[in-house]
């Protein structure tokens, strides 16, 4: 139990550093100071900065993003409802924990340098595309569902990147308009 608690503190400290200073500002020494753990604990759990980033990719997806959006993909819902719910939930997560979403954007960009981070994020996205496509396919052709799911997730990812840069959140009217356009 104690090891898991240490690991959580390290992950949360890494999120904080990345959100404030980008991945280039991340160091095991900074993280150990913020997490109030021994530097050796970081090396024990993650081996290196790159190991920490790989684990952080999984941590953010498995603890923050996927648990919030996977339940929203219900095959009984209409495409506009699924679109609205996904978009609204990711905006809600961004408003509650912008550090999570900003860190995820930086990790995505870091995936250009780190093959393992890229694989983790791409595999999560592909799995989600498939689930979303099947849910949308219950009320439209699979070909259209494929196009809509890719368009929807690309738009949402772009919007999150935009919010990370300018900090502006769309209002509910914009969310409804986007949901109608994308579905």
Q: How far apart are CA 90 and CA 101, in angstroms?
A: 9
**Could you tell me the pTM of the whole model?**
0.86
Angle between helices 28-35 and 49-60 (to 10 degrees): 60
Express each pLDDT in 4-29 by its tens digit: 899 999 999 999 999 999 999 999 99
Kindly indicate the confidence band of residue 53, based on its pLDDT and cuts at 50, 70 and 90: very high
**DSSP strand E in 28-181: where?**
none
Average pLDDT over residues 74-80: 76
State the chain's mean pLDDT as an integer. Answer: 87
Q: Do residues 102 and 19 touch, judged by C-beta distance below 8 A?
A: yes
Q: Do residues 11 and 95 touch, judged by C-beta distance below 8 A?
A: no
Express each pLDDT in 98-142 by its tens digit: 999 889 989 999 998 999 999 999 999 999 889 989 888 888 889
Three-class secondary structure of residue 75 per DSSP: coil
| pLDDT number for residue 1 | 46
Q: Do residues 32 and 41 touch, judged by C-beta distance below 8 A?
A: yes
């Amino acid at each position: 139990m104690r090891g898991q608690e240490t690991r959580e503190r390290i992950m949360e400290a890494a999120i904080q550093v990345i959100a404030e200073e980008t991945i280039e500002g991340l160091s095991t020494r900074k993280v150990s100071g913020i997490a109030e753990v021994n530097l050796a604990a970081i090396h024990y759990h993650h081996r290196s900065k790159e190991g920490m980033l790989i684990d952080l990719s999984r941590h953010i997806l498995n603890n923050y993003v996927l648990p919030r959006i996977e339940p929203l993909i219900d095959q009984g819902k209409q495409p506009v409802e699924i679109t609205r719910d996904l978009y609204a939930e990711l905006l809600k997560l961004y408003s509650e924990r912008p550090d999570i979403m900003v860190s995820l954007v930086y990790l995505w960009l870091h995936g250009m340098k780190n093959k393992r981070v890229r694989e983790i994020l791409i595999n999560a996205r592909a799995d989600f595309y498939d689930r979303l496509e099947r849910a949308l396919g219950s009320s439209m052709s699979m070909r259209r569902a494929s196009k809509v799911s890719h368009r929807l997730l690309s738009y949402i990812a772009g919007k999150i990147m935009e919010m990370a840069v300018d900090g502006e959140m769309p209002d509910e009217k914009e969310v409804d308009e986007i949901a109608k356009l994308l579905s």
